[in-house]
Structure formats: structure tokens, C-alpha cells
A = this chain, B = another copy of it.
Amino acid sequence: MKHLLSMEELDKDEIISILHEANRFSLGETWEPKDRKFVSNLFFEPSTRTKCSFEMAERKLGLDVIPFEASASSILKGETLYDTIKTLESIGVDAVVIRHDQDHFYEELVGKIDIPVLNGGDGCGQHPTQSLLDLLTIQQEFGTFHGLKVAIAGDILHSRVARSNALVLKKLGAEVVFSGPTEWFDQEYLNSGKVCSMDEAVESCDVLMLLRIQHERHGATSHLSPNEYHQQYGLTLQRERRMKKNSIIMHPAPVNRGVEIDSDLVECGRSRIFKQMKNGVFVRMAVLKRALETN
């Protein structure tokens, strides 16, 4: 049984192995568990991409999905997450995917339940399948991570993937720089010597990873208007023209069009934004297989 909780728990070999498996799925490889397996997707926060992508991955693996509607569950009667998961386990669910607004929600589960938990995003914490699909997209593009320069730009502080993507990209041999409003960097970033202006970032990077402004997580929103943000920190049409020939644009979506990125660039030649979503299914097939085959 293998949980997927955070990128930090995965060593380099495991990451490479998941990406390899995901890539095989992208090429049409199939896999189904020997016995019938049941999974449930518990999304306590809004989601289209991650939820639908897991639903698709599950069906492609021939898994049975037990619907779970968070807004109509016994959580409303005060039931704990642990008791809810234990219930699903008792009923015969073989694995759960959970998105939750609480950072590290999985800590109350690990070691106490006997089915794998796949983290579909925890608060401002982690979003490991997003990180993995980002990595797959880069690997498919460049074949390697060595020597690549990746710029991560935007709302670093509230992002579920900025910090863990940075760590894992460095582990895999890439150089990482950051850009965005200073108020969204903590001291650790500022001291790293890797923070640069958006203009520097776009001109030098091979991969530009834009982050979504997480309006819904901001206690206080930025003091900038959307258009001011776009001009100072976003990918404008002008900035895109100064990008290196083969460099690519990524964004976890949903995109705030005209803020992080000019609306006309969302589907431009360099954009891998919808390719990322496509890869999301393959990555989720890989981690579901990993969770269930050793169950």
C-alpha cells in the first residue's frame, strides 16, 4: 500500500519511476487490477481539473468509483475525517483521493487506516499530482531536467506547488529562479539569491511556470489591480516575445486571464497549459496503479 501525500516523501528514483509509468500511459499502455477495486474521491474544496482528471484516470484503469459528495456527507453532522475514511474502508473502498482545505490533513490518517490516501491538494500545502504532471510535461518537452532553467512566477506564498516543485526540480538537476511581488515571498526565498524580475525571468528561462493568484486563499488580496499585476508580474504579449526560442509556458489553471497571462497567450504555440491537463490523467493513472498494485 503506497500513499501519495507529498513530493518530499518521494525519492528521485520513485519520481522517475512514476513519470516513466505515466509516460507509458500517455503512449497508450493500459493496466487493470487483477481484482475489482473501489475508489472514492473526497473533494472538500471546489475542483474541476483534479477531480475530473482522477475520475477519468480511475475509469481508464477499470476501477469502480463510489461517489462521495462532501456537501452532503456526515462531515456536516460533525464526523471527523478519520471516521469518514474508516467508514469508507469498512464499506470496502480500496483507496481514497482527498482534497482538503486543511494543510497536512493526512497526518490524522497515516498509520491508522489500511487503505492508501492520495493527496489531491491540501490547503496551502502540497498537490503532488500537480507537481508530477508538471514534471512529466517538462520531461516530454526536453527529455531531461539537467541544465534547464525553470522560472516560477507569481503567488509563491499561497501556491501548493511552488516550493515542492522548486525542491524536486533542483533534485532532478534543474536551476530554479523565482519572480513575483515581494509580499508573496518569505525570507527564505528572498535570501536564496534566486529572486529576479519578471523581465529577467522570461528572457532567461526554458520553462516559465506561472502560478495562479489564489484569490480564495488570500486573507488580504494584493494591493495591485489585476491590470497593474499583469503589467508588473504577468506574462504580457511583449514579454512573451522576448522568451527564448524553445522555451515553454506552464500554468496549473484555472487561469485568471489577463492577470497572470494575457488571454491570447493561453493557447499560443509555447503554451503547454492544456497539455498539462492531458498529462494529469496519465500521472494519476500511474499513482493509482502504484497505490493499488501493492495493496
User: B residues within 8 A CB of A31?
Assistant: none
B40 & A91 in contact (Cβ 8 Å cutoff): no
Whether a CB of chain B sits under 8 angstroms from the CB of A176 is no
User: B residues within 8 A CB of A52?
Assistant: 40, 66-68, 87-88, 91, 93
**When chains A and B are docked, how far (Å) is the Cα of A46 from the Cα of B84?**
13
**When chains A and B are docked, how far (Å) is the Cα of A31 from the Cα of B253?**
37
Whether a CB of chain B sits under 8 angstroms from the CB of A154 is no
In the complex, chain A residues 221-265 whose Cβ is within 8 Å of any chain B Cβ: 253-257
Whether a CB of chain B sits under 8 angstroms from the CB of A277 is yes
Whether a CB of chain B sits under 8 angstroms from the CB of A215 is yes
Whether a CB of chain B sits under 8 angstroms from the CB of A47 is yes
A254 touches which of B55, B66, B78, B92 (Cβ 8 Å)? B78
B91 & A277 in contact (Cβ 8 Å cutoff): yes
Residue of B nearest to A77 (CB): B254
A92 touches which of B67, B255, B275, B281 (Cβ 8 Å)? B281
A48 touches which of B49, B74, B275 (Cβ 8 Å)? B74
Q: Nearest Cβ in chain B — how far from A270, in angstroms?
A: 17
Whether a CB of chain B sits under 8 angstroms from the CB of A278 is yes
User: B residues within 8 A CB of A48?
Assistant: 68, 73-75, 79, 84, 87-88
In the complex, chain A residues 172-226 whose Cβ is within 8 Å of any chain B Cβ: 215-216
A77 & B46 in contact (Cβ 8 Å cutoff): yes
Whether a CB of chain B sits under 8 angstroms from the CB of A71 is yes
**When chains A and B are docked, how far (Å) is the Cα of A72 from the Cα of B41?**
13
Residue of B nearest to A49 (CB): B87
- The number of residues on chain A lying at the interface, defined by a beta carbon within 8 Å of a beta carbon of chain B, is 54
In the complex, chain A residues 57-94 whose Cβ is within 8 Å of any chain B Cβ: 59-60, 64, 66-80, 83-84, 86-93
Residue of B nearest to A59 (CB): B64
User: B residues within 8 A CB of A75?
Assistant: 46, 48
Mark contacts of A132-158 with chain B using CB atoms, 8 A cut-off: 1 yes-contact digit, 0 otherwise.
000000000000000000000000000
**When chains A and B are docked, how far (Å) is the Cα of A51 from the Cα of B68?**
9
Which residues of A come within 8 Å of B, CB atoms?
A: 38, 40, 43, 46-49, 51-53, 55-56, 59-60, 64, 66-80, 83-84, 86-93, 215-216, 253-257, 266, 274-275, 277-278, 280-281
Known A43-B72, A69-B69; further 6 A-B contacts with Cβ < 8 A: A48-B87, A49-B74, A49-B87, A77-B216, A77-B254, A83-B255
